[in-house]
Amino acid sequence: VERKDFETWLDNISVTFLSLTDLQKNETLDHLISLSGAVQLRHLSNNLETLLKRDFLKLLLPLELSFYLLKWLDPQTLLTCCLISKQWNKVISACTEVWQTACKNLGWQIDDSVQDALHWKKVYLKAILRMKQLEDHEAFETSSLIGHSARVYALYYKDGLLCTGSDDLSPVTGSFDNTVALWALSAGTCLNTLTGHTEWVTKVVLQKCKVKSLLHSPGDYILLSADKYEIKIWPIGREINCKSICLQPRLHFDGKYIVCSSALGLYQWNFASYDILRVIKTPEIANLALLGFGDIFALLFDNRYLYIMDLRTESLISRWPLPEYRKSKRGSSFLAGEASWLNGLDGHNDTGLVFPTSMPDHSIHLVLWKEHG
């Protein structure tokens, strides 16, 4: 067939082909394929591969639109996509919002001023490793401090330093007369004795207020004291009670919220109004005591384990076995260590001391963050 006649025939058959239904088009193609030889089938295969495997990230879409589509993929799928080609890895690794969101979803603190996408991808990989260690109960390690010759009944931790008090004449005093005393350390004199508790005072917290209410202003110093049944607040010379049920001997106050564990779960109060904001029940494990409470995580424990709770889901995500530590009704034989990670991990604050407790042999048992692998 001459070239000119062939082109005329091709135009005519193209018009006819376009007028067919989809079913008729398929039947036409099936018939043509059945008439084709090896050369035609090879040609068809090569062209179909090009048509069907178009690289939309590399060739077809603007970068902004590619980023928009990538946001809908979960991080694990994105990591798999990075293996497709160098171009895909480059595009996916350059999407800052994708990796920042992935880190936030894991409960990590994000500095939005850092717009280096590769940085956030590395942070995510570090975060997913740490979260896996928590889920597998492998995020911590233990150590011991030995030095006291009698029971250790007081512990205090701040800025990387752990202070301990013992019956071996270390300088610590205490009382079981249900009172709270305010002392001037420089003069060694008692400024005031606050009465009202009907049970042993198991915890006192002194903190600057961060909210405004009818009774206090931001910057005022507020004293909280807790016994087995009540939390008492002592602002501006007055006392206010926050009733609960069988409180555990731990108390958390950050200037905005009061949190305490009870037989029914964790209670969170709004310090400005004294209203109960939240009750987090832990039905699978009863009588958990509170060690620390943040925006993302809470640190809890019982006689056997140290627990981490994800406050967004109110579920326990990790636990760590504890030895037979020395029990204290006053709650003074154990405390939380570094606590900034409770507001969200950032890749740097998951180091150092998590939990110290005194032991029957007068040593101090330490639970520490394990170093990143």
Judged against a pLDDT cut of 60, whether residue 6 lies above it is answered with: yes
Number of domains observed in the structure of the chain: 2
User: Do residue 68 and residue 108 come from a single domain?
Assistant: yes
Q: Does 313 fall in a domain? A: no
Burial of 351 (0-12, 13-18, 19+ CB in 10 A): middle
Q: Final residue of a domain: which of 76, 106, 136?
A: 136
Contact 268, 259 (CB under 8 A): yes
pLDDT at 176: 56
Specify whether 72 is located in the same domain as 93.
yes
Question: Residue 16 falls within a domain, yes or no?
Answer: yes
* Interatomic CA distance for residues 308 and 315, integer angstroms: 9
Structure tokens at 168: 């071996």
Quick one: pLDDT at residue 180? 67
Q: Does the residue 110 lie in any domain? A: yes
Q: What CATH code is carried by the domain that includes residue 102?
A: 1.20.1280
Percent pLDDT > 90 in the chain is 21
Let me know if residue 44 belongs to a domain.
Answer: yes
**69 and 111 both lie in a single domain:** yes
Q: Where are the alpha helices (DSSP H) in 218-353?
A: none
Could you tell me which residue, 328 or 85, shows the higher pLDDT? 85
Structure tokens at 346: 């950032």
Specify the pTM. Answer: 0.67
pLDDT (0 to 100) of residue 354: 93
Whether 208 and 220 have beta carbons less than 8 Å apart is answered as yes
Query: Rounded to whole angstroms, how far apart are CA atoms 19 and 22?
Result: 9
The whole-number average pLDDT for the span 250-268 is 83
Neighbours of 332 (CB within 10 A): 19
Indicate whether 147 belongs to any domain. Answer: no
Do residues 45 and 89 share a domain? no
pLDDT at 24: 94
Most confident option among 48-57, 169-178, 189-198, 294-303: 294-303
Question: Domain of 14?
Answer: 3-52
Give yes or no: residues 132 and 75 share one domain.
yes
Q: Give the least confident one: 29-38, 55-64, 226-235.
A: 55-64
Give a yes or no: residue 167 inside a domain.
Answer: no
Token pair listed for 262? 């009870």
The overall average pLDDT reported for the chain is 80
Residue 264 lies in a domain: no
Q: How many CB atoms lie within 10 A of CB 117?
A: 18
Do 44 and 69 sit in the same domain of this protein? no
Identify the pLDDT of residue 236: 47
Q: How many angstroms separate the CA atoms of 336 and 357, rounded?
A: 9
Query: Domain for residue 31, yes or no?
Result: yes
Examine the fold and report which residue of 119, 136, 153 is the final residue of a domain before the chain moves on.
136
* Residue where one domain finishes, among candidates 136, 161, 192: 136
pLDDT at 289 (0 to 100): 84
Q: Is 126 exposed, middle or buried (0-12, 13-18, 19+ CB in 10 A)?
A: middle
Higher pLDDT, 26 or 56: 26
Residue 228 pLDDT: 74
Q: Is the pLDDT of residue 366 over 60?
A: yes
